[in-house]
Amino acid sequence: MAALLGLRGKSVVTLLFACLLALLPAALIGWKAVDEVRRHFASAYAEQYTLLQMQRIMAPLSRELALSRRFADSIVTREWLRAPDDPERRERFFREAEGYRQQFTSGAFFIVEHASGDYYFSDGAVGDGDASNGQGPRERRPAYRLSPQREEDAWYFATMASRATHNINVNVDRALDRTMIWLNIKVMDAGEPLGLAGGSIDLSDFLDRFIRSAPAGITPMIIDSRGALQAHADPERIALSSVNLSQTLDGDHGLYAMLETPAQREALRAAIQQTTRRPGEIATLETSLEGEPRLLTLGYIPELRWLLVTALDLSAYPLLDSRWFWPMVAALGLILATLMGAFAYATHRLILRPLRRLTLSAQAIAGGDYSPRLPTGRDDEIGTLSQAFSRMANQVERYTRDLEGQVRERTRDLEAAHAEMAAAHQQLGDSIQYASIIQRAILPDNQLERHLAHHYGVLWKPRDTVGGDFYVFRATGHGYLLGVVDCAGHGVPGAMMTMLARALIDQAIARHSADDPAALLTEIDHRGRELLPAERLPSSIATNMDLGLVWVDPRRERLTYAGAKIDLYASDGESLTRLPANKRAIGHRRPGHYVNQTLAIDADHSYYLCSDGFLDQAGGSHGFGFGNPRFEALLKDQAKRPLAEQMRAFEAALSAYQGELPQRDDITLLAFRAEPAAGPASHSPTDAQPD
């Protein structure tokens, strides 16, 4: 169809689509705006309704609660409850209680004598007392006696066991055949319970006045802080004797049970906590109540410890009204049709006719005629296009002649540069490989194998082909020296530093005895500062090194250790000992003070020296370093195994932790076991030569 349409038709269709595309988001935005306005006013209406109902509920219930408090706190009430068998106090109490009964809205009061559990109820009816035996009201008999063994009496014992001074409980008293809202006030004497007293409100009258009279689309209800329904249009949903329920409700009688998902229940729990902490504020949340979308508003009545919940059905308030919707659609259609017609005429008049002339001139240029034949006299965009097209034709003709020659010349230059780069890369790779061979030559693997056999293990992993880490070994007639060195830098610079460090170590051993690691560290630090004075080097160049040296004396069954930022670890699989190194590296701007530390040799222990590359390797789910705690736990776990197996286990653990992250630093781990009865004491004189 697009092929049959000309520019005019395509322009009109394009404008139509543009208008529709503009109208759709505008309609959606407008719909959303109207809906948000509706939700805003609905939420405000629900909040105001909740506040109004709270005030309406508060007034009568507060009056009844205050009256119940006065009744329970009366001196006459307390005196009788202290001595319930005293006839004079009993008669005085019931005379005063009759006055309170007439003031209660329901015309009834109750009181429980805690010591006996006797429950008294009076509503002024003839035969008030024990109606079962026909005795009159003057007998003042209890209606029944409460027992902790009866489930229906559990509300009383739960109330007396709580810390609250009062509660409001919706309950069916089956003995009295009444469903009431009971206002329970505890009567205490010096911290000891005397009983429970208060008034009541008829539940049916309360529901008719505050719950069932709600307008359409609104469902009010009352819950306590645990979600138990205290008032609802459906009496079957009310949690009778809710004082006995658990702290939070998810059962048949809780508001939580009317919600569908745990997330909605958690949101309701948060709203309840918010309103109870801030009385006077209204909490609002959107949720599903028994599968239907509802807007809930919650307000807390602290005097009653109740929450008024208003469930608003937003679907009861339609978003669109047909009285104005369809006329608006017709007006939009008329405006769109008028716009399409005007746009089609303007397109033909201002664009199509000039483009026809431009097309004829362009066809001539396409035939190879690059002379300017386009109409360039207009002062609008089409005239500018014609002039630009003429200039383009001249440039295309010139570029066509020059382009092929330039491509051939650039190709030759790129081939020559590529050949030079390949030769340089090959030369650099050969040099680094040669440096790796030289660096490996200074490692004492053969000497370690000859003197310690299977009593040592090494994990050496340069970050690059060459690195700044290496390890040393020196045997004498009465012991041997082991060490790990971590020079500043990586790659070729680090490898060059290892050569200098090896020379400094050999010179220090020549000047001092190998059995004094602290003296060796001091000598290495002194000679290094002479060779690489800090004041003559740029501040960006680091020449320091971490170094740990251990002298093992098998005959005396002890080892001597000194270190600069490399600690010595010893473990038998059950315990772990760490000999800390000096915190300053060799070559630090402030000279360090190195001291020897001795440790008795134990054949059951493995001993470890490790550079910081192992500890600092990033990995895990958060990319943190391997760290000392994880490393020390790994040492204890592996200490009893053969050293070769230990090295494989260390490498596997590090690889698993590292994952896909790159190696951050050079890594060296040297482990050994010192047998007290063995040692290099019988070695030939060649064993004393540097390794």
Q: Which domain holds residue 267?
A: 206-316
Q: Is residue 500 part of a domain?
A: yes
Amino acid identity, position 477: G
Whether the CB-CB separation of 456 and 447 falls below 8 Å is answered with no
* 3-class DSSP state of 562: strand
Of the pLDDT bands very low, low, confident and very high (cuts 50, 70, 90), residue 318 is low
pLDDT in tens, 553-595: 999 999 999 999 999 999 999 999 999 999 999 988 888 889 9
Question: Which of 316, 333, 363 represents a domain boundary (last residue)?
Answer: 316
Clarify whether residues 297 and 163 are in a common domain: no
Percent of the chain scored above 90 by pLDDT? 32
Q: Is residue 436 part of a domain?
A: no
Please give the torsion angle defined by the CA atoms of residues 646, 649, 653 and 654, in that order, rounded to the nearest 10 degrees.
60
Of the pLDDT bands very low, low, confident and very high (cuts 50, 70, 90), residue 448 is very high
Q: Is residue 47 part of a domain?
A: no
Q: Is residue 336 part of a domain?
A: no
* Least-confidence region, from 98-107, 227-236, 609-618: 227-236
State how far the alpha carbon of 50 is from the alpha carbons of 44, 208, 231, 235, 429, in Å. Answer: 10, 17, 14, 20, 80
pLDDT of residue 644: 93
Mean pLDDT value of segment 601-621: 94
Q: Is residue 485 part of a domain?
A: yes
Amino acid identity, position 162: S
Clarify whether residues 280 and 143 are in a common domain: no
Clarify whether residues 101 and 210 are in a common domain: no
CATH number at residue 186: 3.30.450.20
pLDDT in tens, 12-31: 777 777 777 777 787 778 76
Clarify whether residues 592 and 680 are in a common domain: yes
Question: Which of 205, 223, 255 represents a domain boundary (last residue)?
Answer: 205
**Of 650, 482, 505, which Cα lies nearest the Cα of 560?**
482
pLDDT of residue 349: 66
User: What rounded mean pLDDT belongs to the chain?
Assistant: 81
* Least-confidence region, from 261-275, 416-430, 511-525, 647-661: 416-430
Q: Is residue 405 part of a domain?
A: no
Clarify whether residues 118 and 265 are in a common domain: no
Clarify whether residues 219 and 196 are in a common domain: no
* Least-confidence region, from 144-148, 217-221, 683-687: 683-687
Clarify whether residues 110 and 224 are in a common domain: no
pLDDT at 127 over 70: no
Contacts 24+ apart (CB under 8 A), 424-432: 432/464, 432/465, 432/466, 432/491, 432/492
Q: Is residue 548 part of a domain?
A: yes
DSSP string, 14-57: HHHHHHHHHHHHHHHHHHHHHHHHHHHHHHHHHHHHHHHHHHHH
Q: Is residue 277 part of a domain?
A: yes
Q: How far apart are CA 320 and CA 596, in angstroms?
A: 89
pLDDT of residue 293: 87
Whether the CB-CB separation of 108 and 200 falls below 8 Å is answered with yes
Residue 127, phi-psi category: left (phi > 0), alpha (psi -120 to 50), beta (remainder): left
Locate all alpha helices (DSSP H) within 135-211, ordered by sequence: 154-161, 203-206
pLDDT of residue 686: 36
Q: How far apart are CA 263 and CA 426, in angstroms?
A: 63
Q: How far apart are CA 624 and CA 616, in angstroms?
A: 8
Question: Which of 205, 235, 259 represents a domain boundary (last residue)?
Answer: 205
Clarify whether residues 182 and 244 are in a common domain: no
Clarify whether residues 269 and 134 are in a common domain: no
Tally the domains of the chain. 3
Of the pLDDT bands very low, low, confident and very high (cuts 50, 70, 90), residue 462 is very high
Of the pLDDT bands very low, low, confident and very high (cuts 50, 70, 90), residue 43 is confident
CATH number at residue 563: 3.60.40.10
Clarify whether residues 183 and 289 are in a common domain: no
Q: How far apart are CA 288 and CA 261, in angstroms?
A: 9
pTM over 0.85: no
Clarify whether residues 539 and 654 are in a common domain: yes
Structure tokens that stand for 597 in this block = 């530390």
pLDDT of residue 418: 80
Clarify whether residues 584 and 680 are in a common domain: yes
